Chain A
Amino acid sequence: MTGYIIRRVLQALPVFFGTTLLIYFMVFAMPGDPIVALFGDKGVNPAIADQLRAQYHLDQPFIVQYLIYIGGIFQGDFGTSFSGQPVGQILASTFPVTLRLALIAVVIEMIVGVAIGLVAGLRKGKWFDNSSLVVSLILISTPVFVIAFVSQFFFAIKLDWARATVSGEANFPELILPGMVLATLGVAYIIRLTRSSVIETASQDFVRTAYSKGLSKSRVTRVHILRNSMIPVVTYVSIDFGILLVGATVTEGIFNVPGVGRTLYQAIIRGEGPTVVSFVTVMVLLYLAVNLLTDLLYAALDPRIRYDK
């Protein structure tokens, strides 16, 4: 097991450096001079501009800037945004919000998706199964901003059940509506994954054996069918959780959630190199960690999977 983890971490290293280099290069290539933009309409003071350029290492060649930056990351220094705030601080204030949002979304996904998918799979071909498939198709093909607008319009504006936008605190109750919107796509995918996985598991020999041992239908469903159908669902949920942690740019923007996605988007639009690169770096680290954890979870769910020879 340890050997496997070490191998995976070693494989992740080139991906980490590749991704950060790529994003650094893209941000570097953005047109416009962020230092000049800082002066606004006041006119550029060359002495201060040069001083700022030196402070942010903007006078160095691209690859040197990148190395200085990566060196800082390994010492726990995520750099400073052009407005003077340490990026680490921005991350610390936005990340918990996105984490809460992602947790709400994942919990909704798991409960609703698995419940509907399980019932649909057990009643293959009946009206419940067919209608849940149609609904999931419609959810998958509707863009998230449309779902966000429609639910904002109905639940917040027409029915007044929730606030249309989230306050600066972004506590749990306020995040339920955006969390529901974020969860819709996942719910649709989990319904389909659970359904086909349940259908496949239900036809296995061990399920027939369980029935012939005289176990009750509910026990067979819970212990034998459901548990053994969970691998694709767990994969999906963990990857989805990783994606949600990265921040849902669109949903966070529409509901004014002060999370990672919205902050990152604004940083890109303003050409804030250090903020963008730091956020993406953390995102990539998270993504790689979630991937590794997912693979380790397989082994916990299915004892037949072993990573060591």
Chain B
Amino acid sequence: MTNKDFHFVADIDKTQVAEIDAVRISDKPTNLYLDAWRDLRKRPMFYIAGLLILLVTTVAFFPDLFTQTPPNDNCLLANSNGAPTAGHPLGFTRQGCDIYSRIVHGTSTSLSVGLIVIVLTTLLGIIFGSLAGFYGKWVDAILSRAGDIFFSIPYILAAVVIMSVFSDFRNVWVISAAIGIFAWPSTARVLRGEILRVKQSDYVMASTAIGVSRFKILLRHVMPNSIAPVIAVTTISLAAAIVAEATLSFLGVGLPTSTMSWGNDISQAQADLRTAPQVLIWPSLALSITSLAFIMMGEAIRDALDPKARAQR
């Protein structure tokens, strides 16, 4: 009996260690975003949300594909708050207009407000959050306090004030700006927190050591590695912005009533809640489903980008 037979440790070539340690050069290199994308494609939530978003976007761009009824012509007061009839599947508003057609044609308003708001909050959030997190010290102190100033006023109230200031110029751009200007600090906070974590990494120290400029380190190394949570937050704030537009219209300081929007329709239907609740329910449902789609997408993206959440499932 040789000594070898008493080995309780398996020989290296009989284990999987070599297999695990091997670097397969032929494989595609992977990164956070590629992993997340692979993970995302396994989630049913991603597909449901994606299909809904696709549907809403198509409705916004091509409303005529979904209804031939013009939303504001042929409104007969005889049909006021009327029940559904042939060709008018959801019934009529108080003014006797077709509810379904108004919902279809109001989609683009809601979606544009959502998009403009997130462009604004992402831009401001990235500038303030990245500079505050990366440069720290007094830059952080000034930029973070500036964020706090906007954050400590609830953004619906602030938007009510701004919309009152611009009461003569209410349009999609003004309402988006009114929402966005007070909504960016949450994006900035998320990014700042992530950058504080990422800038401790060894690769940042390595870049500093070989003399890469601070700003280039921020752009090339820190930003790509800390932007992931911002993507998820942005998707969710798109939903919040759509709801905020409807809330402002509901409060009577939103878009002018001549602009077709879900918020305006809901606002006008509230007077008839007792007698004709369906007039209020349908546009509310359209609003809720749209915001549900974006929130689900945001959650799916966040979970896919977060290895900790991946393990939790």
Contacts and interface: CB of A to CB of B under 8 A. Distances in A.
B145 interface: yes
Given A18-B146, A196-B312, A288-B152, A141 B273 contact: no
B312 A146 contact: no
Interface in A189-208: 196, 199-200
A8 to B, nearest CB: 12
A31 interface: yes
* Chain A binding surface SS class: helix
Given A26-B165, A137-B292, A146 B251 contact: no
Interface in B245-280: 246-247, 250-253, 266, 270, 273-274, 277, 280
B145 A14 contact: yes
A68 B266 CA distance: 42
Contacts of B291: 141-143
B170 to A, nearest CB: 12
B164 interface: yes
Interface in A217-246: 243, 246
A210 interface: no
Contact of B157 (A11, A150, A253, A264): A264
A82 interface: no
B152 A149 contact: no
A271 B253 CA distance: 13
A236 B309 CA distance: 19
Contacts of B207: none
B267 to A, nearest CB: 9
Interface string B127-153: 000000000000001000110111011
A250 interface: yes
B266 A145 contact: yes
A138 B167 CA distance: 33
Interface string B146-184: 101110111011101110110110000000000000000
A200 B251 CA distance: 41
A92 interface: no
B191 interface: no
Contacts of A144: 247
A51 B312 CA distance: 68
A146 B282 CA distance: 11
B228 interface: no
A141 B297 CA distance: 12
Contact of B154 (A150, A199, A246): A246
B152 A287 contact: yes
A22 interface: yes
Given A149-B280, A268-B160, A142 B288 contact: yes
Contact of A145 (B150, B152, B247, B292): B247
Nearest to B285: A146
Interface string A109-147: 000000000000000110000000000011011111110
Contacts of B247: 143-145, 250
B59 interface: no
B153 A284 contact: yes
B72 interface: no
B39 interface: no
A72 B288 CA distance: 45
B270 to A, nearest CB: 7
A162 interface: no
A19 B153 contact: yes
Nearest to A192: B299
Interface of A: 11, 14-15, 18-19, 22-23, 26-27, 29-31, 124-125, 137-138, 140-146, 149-150, 152-153, 157, 196, 199-200, 243, 246, 249-250, 253-254, 264-265, 268-269, 271, 276, 280, 283-284, 287-288
Given A137-B296, A268-B157, 6 more contacts: A31-B167, A143-B284, A153-B273, A246-B154, A269-B164, A283-B154
10 contacts: A11-B145, A22-B149, A26-B161, A27-B161, A137-B296, A141-B289, A142-B284, A143-B287, A269-B164, A288-B152
